Amino acid sequence: MTSWSDWSQSEADRIRSAGQWRAPRDLDISGVEGKLSPDDRAVVQFASNDYLGLTQHPEVIAAAHAALDRWGAGTGAARLVVGSRPLHSELEVELADWKRCERAVLFPTGFAANLGVLTVLGGPGTLICSDELNHASIIDAGRLARGEVAIFPHRDIARLDQILSEAPAETRKLVVSDTVFSMDGDIADVASLIECCAEHDALLVVDEAHAVLGPEFEDPSVVRVGTLSKTLGSLGGFVAAPASITDLIVNRARSYIFTTASTPADTAAALTALRVLRSPEGSELRARLRNNIDLLVPHHPSPIIPVFCGGEQRALAASAALLEMGILVPAIRPPTVAPGTSRLRVALSAAHDPVQIVSLRDALIGLGLSLEFEQGAGQ
């Protein structure tokens, strides 16, 4: 029998031989400019999900400091034990109001939120219909949920309608989709999803992690999953939904019940960031982000802009060439995306200066890379 040491080495060698070995690189950064290890190279990064630059907002930082001083570094327990602080409840109330839902429930990460929602709602006797380009957390949650999972082609409402129509009458039906897809930057047709689910008495669950600019909608029956770590610049996740569902999640979601509550600093930072977002300053930040996107790809629906390269080596070479110019844009390749769809994943922020956007645009064009965008191009 192969030893664990030999097996793990063999698996590592298999990844290396496929040219897919990865390792983190330290980035000493505050904002969009910093120094990249191992040689402390000065770079402008176009990869962070800090879409509004709120990780560096002085009021957000001050709120985290104040919470750290009052409640300490951690909460010491799960919410249902002694880990719940007034901040958690206050943030849940404001998140529910923001999403126009009855209640909201906090999780330590967005990944944990998706695990909690789908494992509670998607158990035996449930058909889970999932878009083929959904986030890994949705995929893993579906596998753990123990219901039947049906994958429908990306944004294909007609095929989704067919799957739901063919489901046995006694089956509970649940549809889950990202609203903004994290590797393609395109958006779901949420209005059509709502209409399709209503026709088939299916529950709709949407993950709005990257939806800093929409799509906007209002339907109190939809279960809305979000994150605190992107638009709000902190760390954590949440579920906003009817009270009957959030109450059930609190009592059954293992990723809520058996995990330590979010730190006071993270929670306070998210609460303050949410208030900034809902203020006139937040509108200005979104407008600035919209302008930055239009400088690179006019009318693109999100701050995630895929620059398709096809082969892995071309994507790696393009990323390396940009790095030589002081521009950090990682190459995204299998298994994260499908073979033949390797790409540069550009993520823009309101914190970027327009001059930096223009420099990136000129560099991409100079490398012969297309900036044209089409919905669903990464299928």
Task: Please tell me the distance from the alpha carbon of residue 46 to that of residue 137, in angstroms, as a whole number.
Answer: 23
The residue among 207, 261, 274, 206 whose CA lies nearest residue 234 is 274
Task: Please tell me the distance from the alpha carbon of residue 362 to that of residue 327, in angstroms, as a whole number.
Answer: 12
Residue 55: its pLDDT value, please?
A: 98
Q: Kindly report, residue by residue over 44-55, the tens digit of the pLDDT.
A: 999 999 999 999
Q: What is the mean pLDDT of residues 131-136?
A: 97
C-beta separation of 147 from 126 below 8 A: yes
Where do the domains of the chain lie, and which CATH numbers do they carry?
22-51+280-366 (3.90.1150.10), 57-277 (3.40.640.10)
The mean predicted confidence, pLDDT, of the chain is: 96
Q: Is 143 helix (H, G, I), strand (E, B) or coil?
A: helix
Sign of the C-alpha dihedral, residues 102, 105, 111, 117? Answer: negative
Q: Which two tokens stand for residue 58?
A: 């002085």
Residue 372: its pLDDT value, please?
A: 78
Q: What is the mean pLDDT of residues 280-305?
A: 97
Q: Is the per-residue pLDDT at 378 higher than 60?
A: no
Residues 6+ apart with CB under 8 A from 141: 114, 115, 117, 118, 119, 122
C-beta separation of 118 from 141 below 8 A: yes
Residue 376: its pLDDT value, please?
A: 55
β strands within 51-119, DSSP E: 103-107
The residue among 16, 45, 15 whose CA lies nearest residue 29 is 45
Cα-based angle 125, 129, 132 (whole degrees, multiple of 5): 145
Residue 244: its pLDDT value, please?
A: 97
Residue 373: its pLDDT value, please?
A: 67
DSSP 334: T
pLDDT band (50, 70, 90) for residue 377: low
Q: Kindly report, residue by residue over 224-260, the tens digit of the pLDDT.
A: 999 999 999 999 999 999 999 999 999 999 999 999 9
Q: Kindly report, residue by residue over 298-342, the tens digit of the pLDDT.
A: 999 999 999 999 999 999 999 999 999 999 999 999 999 999 999
Task: Please tell me the distance from the alpha carbon of residue 65 to that of residue 348, in angstroms, as a whole number.
Answer: 27
Residue 374: its pLDDT value, please?
A: 61
Task: Please tell me the distance from the alpha carbon of residue 178 to that of residue 134, in angstroms, as a whole number.
Answer: 6
Q: Kindly report, residue by residue over 163-209, the tens digit of the pLDDT.
A: 999 999 999 999 999 999 999 999 999 999 999 999 999 999 999 99
Task: Give residue 161's Cα distance to chain centre.
Answer: 26
Q: Is 347 exposed, middle or buried (0-12, 13-18, 19+ CB in 10 A)?
A: buried
Burial 158-169 (b: 16+ CB within 10 A, else e): eebbebbeebee
Q: Kindly report, residue by residue over 294-307, the tens digit of the pLDDT.
A: 999 999 999 999 99
Q: What is the mean pLDDT of residues 32-56?
A: 97
Q: Is the per-residue pLDDT at 379 higher than 60?
A: no
pLDDT band (50, 70, 90) for residue 370: confident
Q: Where are the alpha helices (DSSP H) in 238-299?
A: 243-252, 254-257, 264-277, 280-296
The residue among 246, 276, 230 whose CA lies nearest residue 106 is 246
The residue among 8, 51, 59 whose CA lies nearest residue 32 is 51
DSSP 207: E
Q: What is the mean pLDDT of residues 129-146?
A: 97
Q: Is the per-residue pLDDT at 95 higher than 60?
A: yes
Q: Is the per-residue pLDDT at 375 higher than 70?
A: no
